[in-house]
Chain A
């Protein structure tokens, strides 16, 4: 029963560097709202029992209490405004391109299209739309513990790039490139569902993010770009 009420327990495992910050905020809000909820509900139930209709007792004639009203107005304002200010750095860190950590270990363009993700790697030369570009459907390969930059766009409708374990979500818009970043901390395969309704194939639009260890990633690269192996593959 407690598990039902303990929301944070239901979060999937976090495997990104900024995910912890999101989770911490989630937990903080969870406690603030839980306490507020319990406070209101306990008061409500106590009032309902205590002040139920009883023979011979009449209700008070109270129109309000200015002091009390000021107190709870200001208290609420301080709490929510403080929460907003407290959250801003986290938001900036994740979403502001100017604050992205540099020196990415991989740069990938992700195209949403009905109903698949196209992943394009610029290849060893690091340039888009050259001969060594590699396009893979629904497969995103990145190294662990390295910053990854994603150039997100869409071919048709709005899609949303969502990796629950990374705590990352960003809509992909046709005609725009939106930059996002993440740094995965644990090797493994994670699902990339589409989180924005994109048509009748929305359910089932699913890609896979494979986070490789350093050696695995090198192996994967030399498998995909065998010619350049001797020169030392650098995706950036």
Chain B
């Protein structure tokens, strides 16, 4: 009798694992980045650079002011704005990811503990808004606010992450992930307006445009690549990527002009 009970229990549990493995990965693909099937990291000598500017087409929409409905004594000290479209000088579009779609070998990520991947939550806003976190690297969440936030990362390929970070916890390490993915949304469920993006990247040829819309990819092995972009509100060019050729030690330029989706 008892043997049967335990055998059945074991079978049931094993069955669940099998089923869960089968179930993973059938979620619909959101607008996301394209990653190479495999990537070989090595040393790159005589690499070139790709630079350029991302420009927003037309008149930039005014940033919507966010309504602070919680913890106004901390979150409401400075005005907060919706960061989905941030346009700077010369219509430069911030927070665009520019990357090489089809690179299969190249440089590895910089080594050592000096490179830290951090997202600050000061004043109830994630900063930076768009983050590139290498696969296998740890992310640290900073909370200088002395009130509770929570870090909810809506991963699909990797296990989703949802953890409270109380006010007393100034730094919270977020476990490194195993698969390239994203960008995935990061939210704080306590403060509904807080939102950021994380792309888990398998190789270093990703860049985020700065407040003037400028980006730079460095140490690119010579060759011709597909150059892709991703922007939260403007979408991607996965269907028709730009082509760019980098010469040994040379510099290539590619500018982008983006407009809102739909």
Contacts and interface: CB of A to CB of B under 8 A. Distances in A.
Given A116-B70, A137-B67, A139-B69, A201 B192 contact: no
B69 A116 contact: yes
Interface size class of A (residues with CB under 8 A): 10 to 19
Nearest to A156: B189
Interface string A110-142: 000111100000000000000000001111000
Interface in A127-164: 136-139
Interface string A2-13: 000000000000
B260 to A, nearest CB: 18
Contact of B148 (A138, A139, A201, A206): A201
A39 interface: no
Interface residues of B, number: 9
The majority secondary structure among interface residues of chain B is: loop
A200 interface: yes
28 contacts: A113-B189, A113-B192, A114-B189, A115-B189, A115-B190, A116-B69, A116-B70, A116-B189, A116-B192, A136-B67, A137-B67, A137-B69, A137-B192, A138-B69, A138-B70, A139-B69, A199-B189, A200-B150, A200-B164, A201-B148, A201-B150, A201-B164, A201-B189, A201-B190, A204-B70, A204-B148, A204-B190, A206-B70
Interface in B39-84: 67, 69-70
Interface of B: 67, 69-70, 148, 150, 164, 189-190, 192
Which of A138, A139, A200 counts the most chain B CB atoms within 10 A? A200
A106 to B, nearest CB: 19
A113 B69 CA distance: 14
Nearest to A203: B148
Nearest to B165: A200
Nearest to A139: B69
